[in-house]
Structure formats: structure tokens, C-alpha cells
Structure 1
């Protein structure tokens, strides 16, 4: 089976490539900026905003499955339009599509979100992710939409943000709750879904809900950093418009998949 990983130069995309290569799959990975640094992956440059280029590449590779991980935080064309282009091209060749989505498409509330709840975005990135899901579902109702949360692991931007806050160079909010997940756990779940016929949204995140500020304290303990310098505030006080309490209930994924999604406290145990 050939697996095409769109966005293979990214943090999650690179890990999906590693897991797939180790499982004996033929892997083709695309990149736009950066490089694909996973041995055994055929790397091809691709601009996902170019619909014709996406169709041509997918038609040439003819993958059995496509894992779509590309996004750019402030770029609608990449996050939303790019997702639609990839979904259309995958459907043309009959490939199984695993689309990576985000908890950012929810507005936030005081109880967890189930798998099938509709998007309620409150800021531009969330709206782009919601639009991406809408396009993918319209083009390919059989695609799986993996809704995930903060991704941890070696090289994680989320963990670097915690280090920066511990050094006073950034601020972590006490009122933003998420369900962090390990990048290897998430990649393993994604590869399982390549071989599965599950359609529609699926929450794939860790079982522990923590605030970003608490995540900073866990990183400090894990890495032996003095936490007294941790810089915290609230999103409300800083005037940030984005979801606060967004917890994903991943019970369905836990029952569906063999991959165990570890909680952040287990991942960052001292």
C-alpha cells in the first residue's frame, strides 16, 4: 500500500511518515517549505493551494490512502482551500482519506465535546478548520476527520512555548483547557485509521484535560526547570479571542483503536 502524506515536513506529518515506513509501507510525502527528513520517504514539493498541481500529483502517485496534515495558522488558502483540493484529488483516485482537524473549531464550554458535534468556531483559524471539514465531508463522506488537540513530543511547538513562558519570553493562559496528545500516539492512531472504514469526525486526543499554564508546570517538572519564572495570565485579560475550555471526549477512539492515547501526566511524569 502506498500512503501519501500531505504536509510531511510538519511535526505530525513527519511522525506519520516514520510510523508508516517502520510498518513497511511505501510512503510518499509532500512539502512546501522545509524538508522531509524521514529515511525511506519519497519527498515531492507541492503547493496545496494549487488545485491542478494537487490533482496531478495524486494522479501520478495513485496512493491507496492519503493522510492530509497541512495547515498554516493564519492562511485560509492552505488550511481550508488546500484541504478541499486534497480531498477532491483523493476521491478522484479512490484513495482512503484521513483528514487532520482540530479542537480549534469548537467555541469552548464547561463540558467535553463528543465526536459528532458540529463546529462552532469563534476565531479565524477555527473557522478555517471548520470550513475544511465541511468541504471534505461534502466531497468524500467516507473520509475520517481526526479532531485532535495540542500535540506533544520532541520538537513540539507546544512544549517550546512552555519553555519560553518558563523563561519569561511568553505567556501561558490559566483559562485555556485542552487535551494534549503525544505525537507518536496520534500518528499510530492515524495509520490505524488508514486501514479502517470509519467515516466522519473522530476525537483523537489525550484523556487528561489541563490548562496551558498547568502544562507549563508539567514541562518544568519533566525537564527539571525552576517553575517560579513561569509567566501566566488569562486570555480574557490579554484580550485574546479564541476558545477557552475545549475538552475532547475520545472515548469512541479508545474503543475503536489499538493505539493507546496516553494522558499528558503520564507523558510528562517526572
Structure 2
């Protein structure tokens, strides 16, 4: 793999993927829609930024045809709002079709919230999706669209992505710190369980998969430790040296996914990239 196209390169994960790929000597193009990539590799010109709305099928096909990548990492998404459905579902279909048309390997980023989290055990790749809220439903439909358009694509289901010491903070970490400092008021769910993954670990795993075309279909790539939202918030504050004693927990409201812990045993067997647990990354040792 020498040429890589990253959609959503202005985002937290997409920017990390692009940066690591450039450091590995790849030629990288990254797409953005409303926000330009802020990573140094784009500011220095080591990677090329391309403005693209993935909802526009013709524009997607044109960009992919121009770049002629060996692999495409599809990170672009919108969490909510009027553009979310089309961006996630139609955009994923357009990217998959364009990647297949030029013979590019596709790594599609999906989510643990394609599940309801009601099975009482870690979720495996062959468990049927059962989303309970709109974002999860859109991600589940995007998986279907990608698999139909490009059966060779790998569908990476992941969890809460965070930075940790020495890395940019994710929105999840920033929120926990703001609440602990009294700048925001909210409770963190004690019954919503996820497997947070460090952004560098996930980006490295994604790049490894981009170079391994034999892996296709769903693959769970997340941290090896399942924690509830309150525990994650406390760990994020601890790593930042912020007093977390004021954080409070509460049950999640109806219509939220619950225990979405992912079984990552297949990924651990396939990948050389380590998938560290959140405590290993965030817990202070001093």
C-alpha cells in the first residue's frame, strides 16, 4: 500500500490515520467537508487535503478516480442533525462503490452502537445488529450498504475513541474534565458499557488492515477493557490530573444502548497492533 485516501481527515481518528500513514512513507490524501484538517501533515503539505461531501456520489467517484488510492479508510460521518442519515448511509455507499471501481482496499469505520447491548456478554462479529437509536441504526445500514457495494471491505466496529497522555484529547475526555471542573453539569451513565480505544492504537490497527486485503466483513477493533461511562470519565480526569470526586453517575434513559462491550479476540489474533485497555493507557502510576 503506497497511496491512501482518508475520508473525514479533519476528524479525531481520520487525522491520526493520515498522520501515521505519512510517517510510514505513504502518499496521503484526506477529505474534509466543513472543517479543514488541522494536523501538521496537512499544514506542512506532506498530505493533500481535498474538499468533499460524501453525499455527492459523482464527487466521490471523481476524487477517488483522481487519487487512485491503493486503499481507502472511510472515517467521515456526522453524529446527528439533518445531514447525519445521508452522510452515514449514502456517503458510505458512495465511498464503497468508488473504492471498488478503482480496485482499492476499503476499511470502513463502524460502531459498537449497531447493537442494543442487551445480550449480557461481549458482542461477537456474528451477532446480528440491533440498534436502538438513530445513529446506531444509520451505522448498521451503512454496514449493509458497504458490504453490498464492496464485499471485500472490512467493517471495523469500534468504541469510544480517546487520546490519553501525550495525545490530543477526545471530546469524551474534554467533556469529563469540564464537568469535573464545574464548567458543565451532567451525570455519566453507570449502566452503559463500552470498550474505549486509544486513538493511536485504533489508527495503527486500521492501517494494518488497509494493507491486508484478505480480511473482510465485520471486525471488532476496540480496547480490551469494558468500563461504564462514569468509570471512563473518572479515568480521563485522573490521567489529566483533574479531581474527579465531583463526578456523579446515573442510569441511562430509555432508548440508549447498554452493555456494548465488544469481543475483540478475532482482532487480537489477526493483528500485530496492540489493543490496550483504557486503564492501562489512562491510569496514573504516580
* Shift of residue 46, structure 1, vs aligned partner: 0.2
Secondary structure at 1:227's aligned position in 2? coil
- Structure 2 residue 282 is the aligned partner of structure 1 residue 268: yes
How big is each residue's C-alpha offset from its partner over 1:64-114, in whole Å with a ceiling of 9 and x where there is no partner? Answer: 110000110111011111111100111111110000000010011211101
- The aligned residue for residue 66 of structure 1 is 72
Q: TM-score when scaled to structure 1?
A: 0.96
Q: How does 1:90-101 map to 2 (within 5 A)?
A: 90-101=99-110
- Structure 2 residue 216 is the aligned partner of structure 1 residue 199: yes
- Structure 2 residue 195 is the aligned partner of structure 1 residue 189: no
- The aligned residue for residue 235 of structure 1 is 252
- The aligned residue for residue 160 of structure 1 is 174
* Shift of residue 224, structure 1, vs aligned partner: 2.0
Q: How does 1:85-234 map to 2 (within 5 A)?
A: 85-109=94-118, 110-153=120-163, 154-168=168-182, 169=184, 170-196=186-212, 197-234=214-251
Secondary structure at 2:29's aligned position in 1? strand
Task: Tell me, yes or no, if the aligned pair for 1:165 and 1:231 is still in contact at 8 Å.
Answer: no
Task: Tell me, yes or no, if the aligned pair for 1:151 and 1:182 is still in contact at 8 Å.
Answer: yes
* Shift of residue 241, structure 1, vs aligned partner: 1.7
How big is each residue's C-alpha offset from its partner over 1:146-168, in whole Å with a ceiling of 9 and x where there is no partner? Answer: 00000010230111121133234
Task: Tell me, yes or no, if the aligned pair for 2:173 and 2:237 is still in contact at 8 Å.
Answer: no
- The aligned residue for residue 269 of structure 2 is 255
Secondary structure at 1:201's aligned position in 2? strand
Secondary structure at 1:185's aligned position in 2? helix
Task: Tell me, yes or no, if the aligned pair for 1:147 and 1:202 is still in contact at 8 Å.
Answer: yes
* Shift of residue 171, structure 1, vs aligned partner: 2.4
The count of aligned residue pairs is 267
Secondary structure at 2:91's aligned position in 1? helix
Unaligned runs of 5+ in 1: none
